[in-house]
Amino acid sequence: MTDTVRILGIEGTAWAASAAVFETDRTAISTGDRTAHPDDVFIESDAYQPESGGIHPREAAEHMHDAIPRVVERALEHARERHDGPATDSPIDAVAFSRGPGLGPCLRVVGTAARALSQALAVPLVGVNHMVAHLEIGRHTSGFDSPVCLNASGANAHLLAFRNGRYRVLGETMDTGVGNAIDKFTRHVGWSHPGGPKVEAAAEDGDYVDLPYVVKGMDFSFSGIMSAAKQAYDDGTPVEDVCYSLQENVFAMLAEVSERALSLTGSDELVLGGGVGQNARLREMLAEMCAQRGARFHAPEPRFLRDNAGMIAVLGAKMYAAGDTLALEDSRVDPDFRPDQVPVSWRSDETELAAGRGEGASQIRGAEALVDLEPAAGRVTKRRESKTYRHPSLDDRLRRERTALEARLTSLARREGVPTPVLSDVDSREARLELEYVGERDLREALSTARVRDVGRHLARLHRAGFVHGDPTTRNVRVGSDRTVLIDFGLGYHTDHVEDYAMDLHVFDQSLVGTADDPAPLREAVREGYREVGEARVLERLRDIEGRGRYQPDR
Ligand SMILES: C[C@@H](O)[C@H](NC(=O)OP(=O)(O)OC[C@H]1O[C@@H](n2cnc3c(N)ncnc32)[C@H](O)[C@@H]1O)C(=O)O
Ligand SMILES: [Fe+2]
């Protein structure tokens, strides 16, 4: 006998008024076995199209007000057609709605509709985080166990991985979401909203021009490249060239941080989520990056990438099956709802990710280099291989620049009293370095408060000397019996901005959160070490940075 579950989903965080019905077998929800029990998702959407400019919160809310009842009615009709019990029974088992993040006025319309329905049909209410839904739909359709997820949507851009009952943010944009960044450029050149698809079309005829490229560990920033793109357009660079190069750099940044996340977590599965995921060039780059490192890649079909209620209904079903429902009085919407605030009730697994170099391995594939280890000879050879996913000019530039920087900053750091490997040879043209073999293992395999306190002191020394490491993660620190050694300065640079110093600490902090079971005492120890040597204002700025990354409306 089959035991069918039908969940109604409602989405309306910004532009898409959408309702969906997810129908599946009750046991399939927990087993995740979609072969034995094929499921079905019906989606009805109505998009808000601004007359001019970007998304206006009030207009968008008016759209929700008109369109939500219509799309919900269509979805309910569908559910009634599928329903074979008595007509007096509810055709659905629960109502799931997106609680946030998103535009407050839009979310409130959706919340009100969801509450009213759950009351009228006497079924439970499920509050879904929109960003976690963008992630879970990819996990659902791929069947992957524990993938890293890149969410590339309008108002967001971040990397998520499951650890200790939550989806942790491994890296994210330091300014706007990726879609909004692209849409702002298209507004500048006078194209209508949404701009993403227009940039993709124009890019077909473009040639490559140099634009900024900014990656800090697994975080990244779009503000520099966006102003440079506008400037290039104003200076008469053909718009196709700007669009092409914008895509090449922005998507290469996203592919690079995704690769770093795979490398850091030891996962070999990547899923893509969010509206920008509809872009064929982004998908191509991610697929190629994964193929080159032997990882699996999955992007859901477009109707599940752009905002849609299908993903809300699918995650809603998993939450419903886990008993994760909301009482009416606790069902307020949350415009700033972060994905890492969600207790992941529907997953009980704790996949142990096997990162690290493995005993006795003589070659390691890092996030961007192949490293040959010769401990007996006390030597390491590091080669930044060509990444086929990115444009050859960009690839060439990044490999040379980073190799040269790594050589320079590794030596400079040692002069400042920070343990680093001694350099024996550099070939920037071939992007190859020969360095001293240091330490016995990576910090991530030997975390202790004493060691991370050392890292705090080391980073403070670099900052006092006017540069940053750029990618201080628990894999870029080697530990031995008596010292804690910083390696891999390829993303470092000279700077006198407090913000850059604080970002350096933030990157290390995030890698602790991503790798440690109990990061709190470790994070405190880093700060203690830093305080001994460095400036207090950097730690103050770090607190500011932690408060950012909230949902930003597209204005
Ligand atoms: C909080 C929520 O409201 C928000 N949703 C959202 O922004 O809609 P979403 O459907 O995930 O993404 C829309 C973005 O996706 C971009 N987009 C759509 N097709 C694109 C394409 N072919 N290439 C590049 N960008 C594209 C649009 O320009 C727009 O910026 C979010 O997930 O951040
Ligand atoms: Fe979205």
CA of 334 to the centre of ligand 2 (A): 15
Cα(160)–Cα(148) distance, integer angstroms: 6
Cβ of 451 less than 6 Å from ligand 1: no
Residue extents of the structural domains in the chain: 4-139+305-341, 143-302, 363-546
At residue 360, the pLDDT reads 64
Same fold for the domain at 4-139+305-341 and the one at 363-546?
no
At residue 359, the pLDDT reads 52
Nearest-CA neighbor of 473 among 432, 514, 534, 519?
A: 514
CA of 67 to the centre of ligand 2 (A): 18
CA distances, 429 to each of 338, 369, 469, 491, 493 (Å): 43, 15, 22, 17, 19
The reply to whether CATH 3.30.420.40 applies to domain 143-302 is yes
The arrangement of strands across the sheet holding 166-172 comes to 166-172, 157-163, 148-152, 269-273, 296-298
Cβ of 50 less than 6 Å from ligand 1: no
Nearest-CA neighbor of 514 among 145, 220, 132, 168?
A: 168
Sign of CA dihedral 403, 404, 408, 411: positive
CA of 307 to the centre of ligand 1 (A): 7
> Measuring from atom 5 of ligand 1, which residue has the nearest CA?
154
Residue 461 contacts by C-beta under 8 Å, 6 or more apart in sequence?
413, 416, 417, 418, 533, 534
Fold of 363-546: Transferase(Phosphotransferase); domain 1 (1.10.510)
Sign of CA dihedral 222, 223, 225, 226: positive
Nearest-CA neighbor of 16 among 141, 133, 117?
A: 133
Cβ of 366 less than 6 Å from ligand 1: no
At residue 31, the pLDDT reads 79
Assign 96 to helix, strand or coil. strand
| Residues constituting the chain | 555
CA of 182 to the centre of ligand 1 (A): 10
Assign 161 to helix, strand or coil. strand
At residue 547, the pLDDT reads 73
Q: Dihedral, CA atoms, 56, 57, 61, 62, nearest 10 degrees?
A: -40
CA of 150 to the centre of ligand 2 (A): 12
Cβ of 196 less than 6 Å from ligand 1: yes
At residue 551, the pLDDT reads 38
By the 8 A CB rule, do 423 and 407 touch? yes
Cβ of 316 less than 6 Å from ligand 1: no
Output the known binding site for Fe cation.
130, 134, 307
Tokens of 204: 């077909």
- Per DSSP bridges, beta strands 157-163 and 16-25 are unpaired
Cα(407)–Cα(431) distance, integer angstroms: 11
CA distances, 253 to each of 1, 212, 458, 499, 554 (Å): 50, 10, 27, 20, 21
At residue 358, the pLDDT reads 53
Cβ of 504 less than 6 Å from ligand 1: no
Best mutation site among 150, 182, 189, 315 for ligand 1, i.e. most ligand atoms within 8 A of its Cβ? 182
Whether the upstream peptide bond of residue 238 has omega within 30° of 0, thus cis, is no
Query: Any idea which residue has 């532009």 for tokens?
Result: 15
Nearest-ligand number for the alpha carbon of 275:
1
Positions annotated as catalytic residues are 471
Residue 543 contacts by C-beta under 8 Å, 6 or more apart in sequence?
none
Triad 513, 515, 516: Cα angle to 5°: 75
Tokens of 354: 């096997």
Ligand 1 atom closest to residue 151's alpha carbon, by position in its atom list: 32
CA distances, 25 to each of 33, 220, 317 (Å): 10, 41, 10
At residue 174, the pLDDT reads 92
Cβ of 13 less than 6 Å from ligand 1: yes
Output the known binding site.
130, 134, 151-155, 183, 196, 200, 279, 307, 363-371, 382
CA of 87 to the centre of ligand 2 (A): 35
Output the known binding site for L-threonylcarbamoyladenylate.
151-155, 183, 196, 200, 279
Nearest-CA neighbor of 110 among 208, 198, 16, 28?
A: 16
Nearest-ligand number for the alpha carbon of 103:
1
Nearest-ligand number for the alpha carbon of 153:
1
By the 8 A CB rule, do 68 and 13 touch? no
Nearest-CA neighbor of 168 among 515, 549, 489?
A: 515
Cβ of 490 less than 6 Å from ligand 1: no
Ligand 1 atom closest to residue 186's alpha carbon, by position in its atom list: 28
Cα(257)–Cα(255) distance, integer angstroms: 6
Cα(316)–Cα(275) distance, integer angstroms: 20
Cβ of 100 less than 6 Å from ligand 1: no
> Measuring from atom 1 of ligand 1, which residue has the nearest CA?
102
Neighbours of 19 (CB within 10 A): 36
CA of 251 to the centre of ligand 1 (A): 14
Ligand 1 atom closest to residue 134's alpha carbon, by position in its atom list: 32
Ligand 1 atom closest to residue 179's alpha carbon, by position in its atom list: 30
Cβ of 107 less than 6 Å from ligand 1: no
Q: What is the pLDDT along the chain (555 residues), one digit of tens a residue?
A: 458 999 999 999 999 999 999 999 988 887 777 887 788 999 999 999 998 888 999 999 999 999 999 999 999 999 999 998 888 899 999 999 999 999 999 999 999 999 999 999 999 999 999 999 999 999 999 999 899 999 999 999 999 999 888 998 989 999 999 999 999 999 999 999 999 999 999 999 999 999 999 999 899 999 999 999 999 999 999 999 999 999 999 999 999 999 999 988 889 999 999 999 999 999 999 999 999 999 999 999 999 999 999 999 999 999 999 999 999 999 999 999 999 999 999 998 765 554 544 556 788 888 889 999 999 999 999 999 999 999 999 999 999 999 999 999 999 999 999 999 999 999 988 999 999 999 999 999 999 999 999 999 999 999 999 999 999 999 899 999 889 999 999 999 999 999 999 999 999 998 898 788 899 999 999 999 999 999 999 999 999 988 765 434 443
Nearest-CA neighbor of 511 among 295, 338, 257?
A: 257
- As a CATH number, domain 4-139+305-341 is 3.30.420.40
